[in-house]
Chains A and B, each alone.
Chain A
Amino acid sequence: MTDATLKSTAPLTDSREGMTYLETLPRKVVTVYLPLFIILVVLLFPFYWMVLTSIKPDAQLLDLDSSNPLWVVNPTLQHIEKLLFGSAYPRWLFNTMMVATVATFLSIFASVLAAYAITRIRYKGAATVGGLIFLAYLVPPSILFIPLSAVIHNYGLFDTPFALILTYPTILIPFCTWLLMGYFKTIPYELEECALIDGASRWQILVQIVLPLAVPGLISAFIFAFTLCWNEFIYALTFISSDHNKTVPVAIISNFVDGDIFRWGSLMAGALIGSLPLVILYAFFVEHYVSAMTGAVKE
């Protein structure tokens, strides 16, 4: 406390806001910057290591003593080249992207309709259905994959992209619906009433008034859903068996891993390239991404 009273006699005429005048730089370095730096290093180290491994020549990967393993001398692109031209990796990347895109669009379509009906048409029992959809969000894929695999077999979808395209929406729809409900609630009701008086149908209201106003919400839902699809593993592992239908996460685990130590480079290059599209997408839409994540939690 004496500390604080001493500091408070410092001049208050500079541009600092609020109570920041109580903080001095050395104190902030110890209490904020240093711990933050340590946590950031731990959080980012695996990616650094991933990048480093994917451009290191095999000799350096297997000999930690001849040069500093935390750095790379003579970087090589051979792992990435081998990956892109010597394996089915492009095909897997294409599968992942295709499945994720189609499943995301399907889910957003279904979620927009459901969210609009729940928040604005407010049919009988809408609140209950909203609650049930939230519960569906809490049902994890790991208790569903065994019965789902039986269902997929019965419908004749096993080992086709449709097995994934049709099952991923069950993970995405509850989330997207919940997120979009929050967005739709913020749109003034009066706008819709005006449109109704002018003779617009519900469908016209949705497409021409509500959706244009909910674009930020749609982008958030899209990006988050796309990331979830890309990340999905257990369904893809269970429902897909042939190599050419696999998605990147499954292929990385099952096709590169055979105990052969010389594959570490390609494995890391595969993991790196498999993450890049998401990281790039994320870099462009950070704000939307964060609002999707926090929006779903806050509701």
Chain B
Amino acid sequence: MATDTLALKPARAPIREPSAWDRLRVNRNWLGAWFMVPAMAFLLLFLAYPLGLGMWMSLTDMRIGRGGSFIGVENYVYLLDDRDFLRATGFTLVYTFIASIFKFSIGLYLAVLLNNNMPFKALIRAVVLIPFIVPTVLSAVAFWWIFDTQFSIFTWLLQKWGILGKNQLINWLGDPLLAQGSVIFANIWRGIPFIAITLLAGLQTVSPSLYEAATLDGASKWQMFRFVTYPLLTPIIAVVMTFSVLFTFTDFQLIWAMTRGGPVNATHLMATLSYQRGILGGRLGEGAAIATAMVPFLLAAIMISWFGLQRRKWQQGENND
């Protein structure tokens, strides 16, 4: 059929040589570059450039409304002597460490629980994710109210159960140590759903036949978890925990909504301190230096999980990408 029509039709214009324009039009690299333009424009203008600018600003004494001049590492030297900065760095590390451990263990436990067969499975899974959907600031406001000094429902419950005296109050967000505990609690609360649901997705890929085999070999529930589930989950755990650690370390919203860094700067994270010094205090250079000081920690976190991930791939006998 096709050959017939070809044979009947006389050849029309002779085929012209492809021009440079024709070649360019089908060139992968040229075409690819055009497709990348919108994304690259955004990322270069509003991400890569500010990232570099931030490092530069941290080396100047820039303030709001006036350009700064280069002062070398003076900002950093000053910060190393600054008690509030050291305290914020320490608390950021503690905050990330404690919150991540709890988020991971409770999240994993919840994922294992959700992986059971039960009525209303889909509904329960959907409900679990709600704390993750609701904007952090708005749930932080709810926590702020829950931890209110005078009208805290926790205080009321403790009084009701007789643990506290009738008119004894707990200054949840007013006492440095309690405030630190409260914000860590709120962060754990907010982080659990993400970890549970992503790990649940990993759990669902584990074949039930492995558990059946383990049962036949006489493995206990704990042994099944330790020697079947956990090793198969490690790659996804590494990725999930990298994200979790990164976002916990650079947290801003929760602290700002609940305590704004108070009382007596006890709950300042590096991000909130950098906002307070840089934007509210107007010392942009110093703020940028605090923000830049987070970078080495972030790189370390990424590296640890990255190499951890590769080692595990190798252990499982896969190629390293």
Query: Which residues of chain A are within 8 angstroms of B298 by Cβ–Cβ distance?
Result: 138, 140, 143
Instruction: Report if A57 contacts B (CB, 8 A).
Output: no
Secondary structure at the B interface, as helix, strand, loop or mixed, is: helix
User: B15-48: contact bitstring with A at CB < 8 Å (1 yes, 0 no)?
Assistant: 0000000000000110111011111111101111
Of the residues B109, B198, B250, contact of A294 by C-beta under 8 Å = B198
CB atoms of B194 and A293 under 8 A apart: yes
User: B130-151: contact bitstring with A at CB < 8 Å (1 yes, 0 no)?
Assistant: 1101111111011101101011
User: A260-273: contact bitstring with B at CB < 8 Å (1 yes, 0 no)?
Assistant: 01001001101110
Query: Which residues of chain B are within 8 angstroms of A279 by Cβ–Cβ distance?
Result: 130, 133-134
Instruction: Report if A139 contacts B (CB, 8 A).
Output: yes
Instruction: Report if B106 contacts A (CB, 8 A).
Output: yes
CB atoms of A47 and B142 under 8 A apart: yes
**Cα(A117)–Cα(B243), bound, Å:** 26
Instruction: Report if B239 contacts A (CB, 8 A).
Output: yes
CB atoms of B292 and A143 under 8 A apart: yes
Query: Which residues of chain A are within 8 angstroms of B288 by Cβ–Cβ distance?
Result: 146-147
Of the residues A40, A46, A293, contact of B139 by C-beta under 8 Å = A46
Instruction: Report if B218 contacts A (CB, 8 A).
Output: yes
Instruction: Report if B187 contacts A (CB, 8 A).
Output: no
Count of interface residues, chain B, beta-carbon cutoff 8 Å: 98
Instruction: Report if A85 contacts B (CB, 8 A).
Output: no
CB atoms of B256 and A19 under 8 A apart: no
CB atoms of A143 and B291 under 8 A apart: yes
CB atoms of A121 and B31 under 8 A apart: yes
Shortest B103–chain A CB gap in Å is 12
CB atoms of B142 and A20 under 8 A apart: no
CB atoms of A122 and B28 under 8 A apart: yes
User: A30-64: contact bitstring with B at CB < 8 Å (1 yes, 0 no)?
Assistant: 00110110011011101101100100000001101
Binding-face segment, A74-82, A166-174, A214-222:
A166-174
Give the contacts of A147-203 with B (CB-CB under 8 A).
147-151, 166-167, 169-170, 173-174, 177, 202
Shortest A239–chain B CB gap in Å is 10
Q: Which of A1, A46, A169, A267 has the most CB of B within 10 A?
A: A46
Of the residues B109, B117, B208, B275, contact of A238 by C-beta under 8 Å = B275
CB atoms of B240 and A297 under 8 A apart: yes
Secondary structure at the A interface, as helix, strand, loop or mixed, is: helix
Query: Which residues of chain B are within 8 angstroms of A231 by Cβ–Cβ distance?
Result: 135-137
User: A98-130: contact bitstring with B at CB < 8 Å (1 yes, 0 no)?
Assistant: 000000001101110110111001111010010
Instruction: Report if B271 contacts A (CB, 8 A).
Output: yes
Query: Which residues of chain A are within 8 angstroms of B117 by Cβ–Cβ distance?
Result: 17, 20
Instruction: Report if B261 contacts A (CB, 8 A).
Output: no
Query: Which residues of chain B are within 8 angstroms of A133 by Cβ–Cβ distance?
Result: 39, 43
Instruction: Report if A275 contacts B (CB, 8 A).
Output: yes
Query: Which residues of chain B are within 8 angstroms of A50 by Cβ–Cβ distance?
Result: 139, 142
Query: Which residues of chain B are within 8 angstroms of A286 by Cβ–Cβ distance?
Result: 122, 125-126, 129
Q: Which residues of B contact A (CB under 8 A)?
A: 28-29, 31-33, 35-43, 45-51, 53-54, 57, 62, 106, 109-110, 113-114, 116-118, 122, 124-131, 133-139, 141-143, 145-146, 148, 150-151, 153, 156, 189, 192-194, 197-198, 201, 208, 211-212, 215, 218, 220, 236, 239-240, 243, 246-247, 250-253, 256-257, 271, 274-275, 278-279, 284, 287-288, 291-292, 294-295, 298, 302
Question: Considering the complex of A and B, which 9 residue pairs feature the smallest CB-CB distances, nearest first?
Answer: A123-B32, A117-B35, A142-B271, A110-B38, A140-B250, A114-B39, A147-B54, A294-B201, A249-B137
User: 22 A-B contacts, Cβ less than 8 Å apart?
Assistant: A19-B208, A40-B127, A42-B189, A43-B192, A50-B139, A64-B151, A110-B39, A113-B35, A116-B35, A118-B32, A123-B31, A124-B32, A136-B48, A143-B298, A145-B275, A145-B291, A151-B50, A166-B42, A252-B141, A294-B197, A294-B198, A297-B243
Beyond A173-B43, A271-B139, A293-B194, 19 additional pairs, beta carbon < 8 A: A46-B146, A110-B38, A111-B39, A113-B36, A114-B36, A133-B39, A133-B43, A143-B51, A143-B250, A143-B291, A151-B53, A177-B39, A237-B256, A252-B138, A271-B138, A272-B138, A275-B133, A279-B133, A290-B129
